[in-house]
Amino acid sequence: MRQQPSARTPPPLDGVDTTGSPHAQFLATEHWSLLATRSMTWNEIFSRTGTYLTVLSATVIALSLVANAAGFGQSFQTFALLVLPVALLVGVGTYFRLIEADIEDAWLVIGMNRLRHAYLELAPELEPYFVASHHDDAQGLLKTYSFRSRVGLTHWLSGSPVIVGIINAVVTGVLAAVICEAADAGVTLRTIAGVLAAVATAILLGIIGYRKVREVTRGYQPRFPS
Average pLDDT value for the chain: 87
Per-residue b or e along 75-101, where b marks 16 or more CB atoms closer than 10 Å to that residue's CB = ebbebbeebbeebbebbbebbbbbbbb
pLDDT score for 42: 93
User: Which of 62, 58, 67 has the alpha carbon at shortest distance from 91?
Assistant: 58
Distance CA 67, CA 76 (A): 6
Report yes or no: 136 and 56 within 8 Å, Cβ to Cβ.
Answer: no
Distance CA 145, CA 155 (A): 11
* pLDDT one-digit tens code per residue, 47-75: 999 999 999 999 999 999 999 988 888 88
What three-state secondary structure class fits 13? strand
Distance CA 179, CA 85 (A): 11
Q: For the chain, what are the domain ranges?
A: 23-217
What three-state secondary structure class fits 55? helix
What is the value of pTM for the model shown? 0.83
Among the listed ranges 99-103, 146-150, 195-199, which one has the minimum average pLDDT value?
146-150
